Amino acid sequence: MNTAGKNNRAAWIKGPSAQCEAVPKASDLPWGLILLGAPGVGKGTQADLLNRRLHACHLSTGDVFRAAGSSDDCELSPIMKEALGFMRRGELVPDSTVWDMVQERSACLHCPGGFILDGFPRTLGQAQSLKALMDREEIWLTAVVSYELPTDEIVARLAGRRTCDQCKSVYHVTERPPRVEGHCDRCEGKLFQREDDRPESIKVRLETYDRSTAPLIEFYKKLGLLVQVAATGSPDEIFDRTVGELASRHVRVFAHKLLNAAENRRDS
Ligand code: AP5
């Protein structure tokens, strides 16, 4: 399997009792990113590129639910079974379930390589809980990146998506096809179509995004953290656009962090 050097994110995917492999080296300037954007805009694809090139850990709440769903059914708690039902229909999992899960994994926000939150927060309630936790634990955000794309292109991306059943790499039947049809380039796992990529679930997911998640754009704009990036073009072009927008902000946030630490030392 060609996953050398890739962190398996065990502590995030399985919970805090699991040990991550290949933990990223401590960075002097760890990235703290939140990726926002409608389902299918390409957040997971960008998170994977950001992880491979910036080494910050990819923390996706959807991946945690999908991993739980593919484990043995009798191990699932009633709350997790209920969560998977919401997910299949394209609805949001209740805030309390999501927040319990994230809080349990909050050590991942202190990952030495930094973090990329993908699919969380998704409601104002989740964003407020996360902000309170970050303020309390002095976790710094570099930026919140909001990816934007017209709806017809989003629907085409979702309808053609295929995911590896082993390493979870994401492909697209026409835009990012694997070298061998139906098989993953990285680990030769089988590619499958996600249950929530059926047309009826896609419609619910897009409506839910507009109603519950789009208001977060204003929330983070007011906090001065929002960076809007067009999600058109190839994944590499979008990645370059993202990093281009973020580079100077990254250094500024780090300088602010150092200044703050110096002030705290002086006051104590
Ligand atoms: P989640 O897993 O977070 O899914 P999502 O937000 O719906 O996002 P997707 O994974 O569908 O899309 P993406 O933007 O990552 O796009 P991708 O990179 O794959 O959540 C799933 C469900 O879990 C939710 O509906 C909810 O039920 C539950 N859930 C999770 N978190 C929750 C929370 N916080 N609160 C409540 N409920 C929660 O790309 C899509 C396709 O496009 C791929 O085929 C890809 O190859 C292709 N593609 C990507 N980039 C390009 C490009 N530049 N050009 C052409 N094709 C491209």
Task: Pick 27 or 134 by higher pLDDT.
Answer: 134
For residue 119, how far is its CA from the centre of ligand 1 (angstroms)? 7
* Catalytic-residue membership of 265: no
For residue 18, how far is its CA from the centre of ligand 1 (angstroms)? 25
Among 14, 88, 194, 221, the active-site one is 194
Which range of 5-14, 69-78, 192-201 scores highest in mean pLDDT? It is 192-201
* Catalytic-residue membership of 122: yes
pLDDT at residue 2 in the model: 39
Question: What's the CA gap between 173 and 125, in Å, rounded?
Answer: 36
For residue 89, how far is its CA from the centre of ligand 1 (angstroms)? 14
* Catalytic-residue membership of 43: yes
Tens-place pLDDT, residues 207-263 = 999 999 999 999 999 999 999 999 999 999 999 999 999 988 887 887 787 788 788
pTM for the whole structure: 0.92
* Residue 19 confidence (pLDDT) above 70: yes
- Nearest alpha carbon, ligand 1 atom 39: 42
* Catalytic-residue membership of 249: no
Among 9, 105, 122, 157, the active-site one is 122
For residue 62, how far is its CA from the centre of ligand 1 (angstroms)? 8
Average pLDDT, the chain: 91
Tens-place pLDDT, residues 187-217 = 999 999 998 998 999 999 999 999 999 999 9
* Residue 14 confidence (pLDDT) above 70: yes
- Nearest alpha carbon, ligand 1 atom 1: 62
pLDDT at residue 3 in the model: 42
